[in-house]
Amino acid sequence: MLKLNVNNETSRLSVVVLGTAKSNGITPKIDDCYDPSSRQNVLNQTYPSEDDMIDEMNQFKQVLYKYNIDIIRPSIIDDYNQIFSRDIGFVIDDYFIISNILPQRSKEILAIDKVLVQIPKNKIIQLPDECHIEGGDIVLHNDYIFIGTYDGDNYSSLKTARTNYKAVKFLKEKFTEKKIISFDLIKSDLEPKKNALHLDCCLQPVGNGKLVACPDAFLKIDQYQWLIDYFGEENILEISLSEMSEMNCNFFSIDTNVVVSEKSFTRLNSWLRSFDIAVEEINYKEISKQGGLLRCSTLPLKRA
């Protein structure tokens, strides 16, 4: 059996599901895109090729192997996008929560059945249908669970609104020992710079007590102020909406002092190194054209 253990974003990683770009399918039609970055790149005829995305994910895989991490890949579903494994489920402590994801992505969970069968059934949580949630909106920070949400009247009509307050309520009732803080995020189906698709696109803890965040991605000033009060202004790297849309928040921590990052993120990577964090730089620009990056491509199952 597989013993799960994840309660933060930065402890030493030992087991992870890494998505796959194989048999990714054809370039989607405009109306079939469910994030503004994909839509923009389809319009601009710059949507990434499967070969380029496979190459980038192989670079990521090699870094994970370098640190002796056990990597599990999803089974291949023909002509189906399976890159962003983060969203289909997530681990809190030793529980695996199956996300209620967009209907277009509902098959993805089937591709990691080989993982689920290794987890005791009493450690798998299936949410009620009305609780919408995706793993990218869940950021763990020891005693805290940060959740990205949206509660606007247009929730049901927005493709980019992925996590609702009913899911927050459910998790609060299930994980009573945790302090759960929700953050309302900006949403747009059309403009990448006006859309925080998930919380991990605009907020991510790193190292020991540091944080990277985009203030303008938060709808409520008091919610962002909570982060400043908790982490301390001197420990936060604030990024712009433009940097957010390029996925500067979506790096991935292998350990408190080791991060995998896109090599073009020079400001971020220099800031991380100033705190003696080793930065493994790789190419991941093509995958970013679909509105996700390194953290989105991973589903951690066990951290030390």
Domains of the chain: 13-303 (3.75.10.10)
Mean pLDDT across the stretch 214-238?
Answer: 98
Give 93's pLDDT tier (boundaries 50, 70, 90): very high
Residue-wise pLDDT for 257-304, tens only, equals 999 999 999 999 999 999 999 999 999 999 999 999 999 999 999 999
Q: With bands split at pLDDT 50, 70 and 90, how would you rate the model's confidence at 220? A: very high
Give the pLDDT confidence score for residue 171 in this predicted structure. 98
pLDDT number for residue 111: 97
What is the DSSP secondary structure assignment for residue 255, as one 8-state letter? Answer: E
- % of the chain with per-residue pLDDT over 90: 99
- As beta bridge partners, residue 15 has 70, 302
The rounded distance, in Å, linking the Cα atoms of 166 and 69 is: 35
Closest CA to 88 of 70, 72, 74: 74
* Residue among 269, 267, 263 at smallest CA distance from 286: 263
Interval 208-236 mean pLDDT: 98
pTM over 0.75: yes
The beta-strand segments (E) located in the chain are 13-18, 70-72, 89-92, 95-98, 124-126, 138-141, 144-149, 179-184, 203-206, 210-213, 236-238, 252-255, 258-262, 278-282, 298-303
CB atoms within 10 A of CB 295: 25
Q: Closest Cα partner for 159 from 107, 195, 193? A: 195
Q: Are 252 and 298 a contacting pair, CB within 8 Å? A: yes
Residues in the chain: 304
> Which residue is it, tokens 């927005």?
158
The two structure tokens encoding residue 66: 């370098």
137-172 residue pLDDT tens: 999 999 999 999 999 999 999 999 999 999 999 999
Q: What residue type is assigned to position 211 of the chain?
A: L
The DSSP bridge partners found for residue 167 are none
How far is residue 138 from each of residues 85, 231, 272, 291, measured CA to CA in Å?
A: 13, 18, 22, 17
Average pLDDT, the chain: 97
The dihedral through the CA atoms of 237, 241, 246, 247 has a sign that is: positive
pLDDT in tens, 124-139: 999 999 999 999 999 9
CA distance 24 to 57: 13
Count the Cβ atoms, other than its own, within 10 Å of residue 141.
21
